[in-house]
Amino acid sequence: MSSIGKLMKQAARMQQQMEQIQSQLAQRTVEATSGGGAVKVVARCDGSIASIKIDPQAINPGDAQLIEDMILTAANQALGQAKDISNTEMGRVTSAFNLPGLG
């Protein structure tokens, strides 16, 4: 088999593995909290937010800005964790793909 044929076969295999990992990442979740647990955000490893929970005792109309800040903090932490997992999983596939002259 020619080297271009091997390269095409390897690329097709990598694409299939990446699609499988992306599907798995959409199912995998991480959780982050803020405000001592008053706000909990669950994110999927595909970069989307699955849920946001707020402790009812944390809700005070005068504290709206504080709650918004806690939600933002927890959401960013959860998405950061999800991105790290996604990058690690996708990196495993792409590191196995060797292009001649690029290594």
CATH number, domain containing residue 63 = 3.30.1310.10
Whether residue 101 lies inside any domain: the answer is no
Whether residue 47 lies inside any domain: the answer is yes
Number of domain units in the chain: 1
- pTM: predicted TM-score of the whole model, two decimal places: 0.63
The reported pLDDT for the residue numbered 31 is: 92
Whether residue 83 lies inside any domain: the answer is yes
The reported pLDDT for the residue numbered 90 is: 82
Q: Is residue 50 within 8 Å of 90, Cβ to Cβ?
A: no
pLDDT tens digit sequence for 49-67: 888 888 888 888 888 888 8
Whether residue 103 lies inside any domain: the answer is no
Residue 98 has pLDDT above 80, yes or no: no
Whether residue 50 lies inside any domain: the answer is yes
% residues pLDDT > 90 (the chain): 3
Whether residue 100 lies inside any domain: the answer is no
Domain holding 29, by residue range, is 3-95
Q: Is residue 37 within 8 Å of 30, Cβ to Cβ?
A: no
Whether residue 102 lies inside any domain: the answer is no
The reported pLDDT for the residue numbered 103 is: 47
**CA–CA distances in Å: residue 101 to residues 3, 8, 44, 98:** 13, 16, 36, 9
Which of these, 48, 50, 45, 49, lies nearest to 87 by C-alpha position? 45
